[in-house]
Amino acid sequence: MKRRIYLAGLIIMILGAGFTILGNKDLELVKNLDIYYTLFRELNMFYVDETDPEQLVTTSIDAMLASLDPYTTYIPESGMDDFQFQTTGEYGGIGSLIRRSGDHVIIAEPYDGFPAARAGLRAGDVILKIDGVPTDHQPIESISERLKGKPGTEIRMTIERLTHEKPLEFTLTREQISIPNVPYFGMVDPRTGYIRITNFTSGAGKETEEAVKMLKRNPDLDALILDLRSNPGGLLIEAVRICNLFVEKGELIVSTRGKVKQWDSDYTTQKEPLDTEIPLVILINRGSASAAEIVAGALQDLDRAVIVGQRTFGKGLVQTTRPLKYNAQLKVTTAKYYIPSGRCIQALDYAHRNEDGSVGHVPDSLISAYETRNGRVVYDGGGIRPDIESVPEDLSEIAIQLYAQNLIFDYATRYRSTHEEIAPPESFGITDEEYEAFKDFVETQDFEFQTASERIFDSLVRTARREKYYEIAHDEFTRLEEKLAHNNLKDLETFGDEIRQILDEEIVNRYYYQSGRIRAQIRKDQQLDKALEILHEPGFLEEILTGNLSALPASWSRIPSPQSGEPSAP
């Protein structure tokens, strides 16, 4: 341990010496590094219990970076595989999501076409052993690492399945797993193509290009929808490449500007486009961020696409990775990005924290107006505002809890065990009898939850007791409690339509994987329906892109300006 402390101190002293050479302007930095080193040394020598120097340093690094923004992070050598997966979408393994269920880890979702799915592993399978070693009570991170490995190596898995009395044995060969950025594309009606883009890892632009080319083989195609909802973003260059499919070569898509001026860059389209004329709608929501916002914002600024949905997350920051010693990396925010109109859509102001350390939204007073190419007004400082707002209905509390407590997942596992095949995703739906069976299943489970109204009521009762008003209004409280109390069976009936929709999607996923789930989701999709209405009602798309919103139905919701009192961030 003394050797490790000595090495850590030596590194800090060398760094301090390097800064001293720079002159007096770095004296404060050298002083604080010296304080850190002496504190670190004294702590390790005299703290009452044994300490882990490596853990102490890592903790101090994480705390330091947490004072900046959540995107500036330290990546130790042990975390490089996960980081590479986030940027490339590739890893060596069996191709499956896993999650914990009680004392065990289960298969949550095999990826179509990869070893787990090809071998016959199913969602809901319990992983009992890996290469003969039991997995019970093991951290899920440890099990995930054991499933990963060099492509071409074998792995033996012992599985417990609901319909089998004895465990099942599987031998799989690991492969290079590449998670698609475009898990599904197809025609949503005879004239409209649809492309779901879920990430912006390496290759997203190429995948989207191939999807567009395939859709254009349909001679009846006359409109296109890009679905960027809940897309967390990724590589900036992939956003530029996707925009390039729809705008002319040489068009400015995004600029980055930071403290180090030589790193400032303008990103323009480099190739001839596929189609600059096809009507285009982009779907967004609060989960659309980063590179997804660049695509939506740039094509909005260039008046190339109509944006439908909800205001996006508002991440206008750019990260760069910098190499550190011992194969570690620093992912650091180096710039803000600006889309063609000149606006930056960063929503949270990390540079000016509140007194309690929390981060506030960019205030409305600092939000500025910009113009698109056609002169439409757009705003910075709070994500991408859609041209036409479409907000899906909130799920009921019982639907949320059935999903969160895995009852929908578990019922789908049971359903898959007794049904070898089902109808295609576009037409599948559980029958009334099957929904009754689901209700019976829920009744046999330890399913309890509180609605938001019940939680607020309980808080009100506690406050009233503390302030000694409860006894005075006891009868009123009792009557209100009876009215607010939910009943599982009644709620299962009242909110049956939305629960059945979620059940359908989960069951379809067991047979048709992620692409099937998407196909089931878009059957009843309010925002997609709005996009189709815009594309197929003569003149609607053109009116929106020219700013003539008065020609549209009065019931359609537009995002107001910040000065109207709307919050400045989602």
Amino acid at 548: N
Question: Taking residues 433-442, what's their average pLDDT?
Answer: 96
d(CA 559, CA 566): 9
Quick one: tokens of 363?
Answer: 């205030």
Confidence of residue 275 (pLDDT cuts 50, 70, 90): very high
* Domain at 184-391+559-564, CATH class: alpha beta
Those residues with Cβ within 8 angstroms of residue 377's Cβ, 6 or more apart along the chain or in another chain: 369, 370, 371, 547, 561
Whether 90-178 and 184-391+559-564 share one fold: the answer is: no
Does the annotation count 364 as an active-site position? no
Residue with the bigger pLDDT between 514 and 480: it is: 514
- pTM of structure: 0.88
- Residue 568 is predicted with a pLDDT of 34
User: What is the rounded average pLDDT of the residues 7-24?
Assistant: 50
Task: Label residue 557 by pLDDT band (50, 70, 90).
Answer: low
Residue 244 backbone class (left: φ over 0; alpha: ψ -120 to 50; beta: rest): alpha
* Six token digits for residue 239: 């956003």
State the catalytic residue, choosing from 202, 255, 288, 290. 290
Which runs of consecutive H residues, i.e. helices, occur in 131-189? Answer: 140-147
Model pLDDT, residue 88: 82
Superfamily of domain 90-178: PDZ domain (2.30.42.10)
Q: Answer yes or no: is pLDDT of 359 > 50.
A: yes
Whether 136 is a known active-site residue: answer: no
pLDDT at 547: 86
Q: Report d(CA 119, CA 450) in Å as an integer.
A: 41
| Lowest-confidence pick of 319-323, 358-362, 493-497, 513-517 | 358-362
315 is catalytic: yes
The residues, ordered by sequence, that sit 6+ positions from 340 with a Cβ below 8 Å of its Cβ are: 251, 252, 253, 254, 298, 301, 302, 373
Q: Closest Cα partner for 503 from 552, 557, 420, 431?
A: 431
Active site residue: 69, 96, 303, 315, which one?
A: 315
Cα–Cα distances in Å, from 179 out to 83, 92, 137, 182? 14, 11, 29, 9
Report whether pLDDT(13) > 60: no
Burial of 291 (0-12, 13-18, 19+ CB in 10 A): buried
**C-alpha–C-alpha distance, residues 561 and 550, integer Å:** 16
Per-residue confidence band for 105, with pLDDT thresholds at 50, 70 and 90: very high
Share of the chain above pLDDT 90, in %: 70
Token digits for 24?
A: 């007096």
Q: What confidence score (pLDDT) does residue 364 get?
A: 75
Average pLDDT, the chain: 90
Beta bridge partners of 389: 309, 557
- CA angle, 52 as apex, 48 and 53 as ends, to 5°? 105
CA nearest 432: which of 496, 502, 507? 496
Higher pLDDT, 400 or 76: 400
Structure confidence at residue 7 (pLDDT)? 46
Under the banding of pLDDT at 50, 70 and 90, the label for residue 556 is confident
pLDDT at position 11 over 60: no
Identify the active-site residue in 125, 227, 301, 410. 301
Q: pLDDT tens for residues 400-416? A: 999 999 999 999 999 99
pLDDT digits (tens, 9 = 90+) for 370-389: 999 999 999 998 899 999 99
Tokens of 484: 């607010």
Mean pLDDT across the stretch 256-268?
Answer: 92
Domain ranges of the chain: 2-67, 90-178, 184-391+559-564, 397-527
Higher pLDDT, 76 or 131: 131
- Where b means 16+ CB within 10 Å and e means fewer, 85-119 reads beeebebbbbbbebeeeeebbbbbbbbbebbbbeb
| Interior angle at CA 405, CA 404 and CA 409, nearest 5 | 85
Range in 83-92, 97-106, 170-179 the model is least confident about: 83-92
Whether 34 shows a pLDDT value over 70: the answer reads yes
The percent of residues in the chain predicted with pLDDT above 70, rounded, is: 93
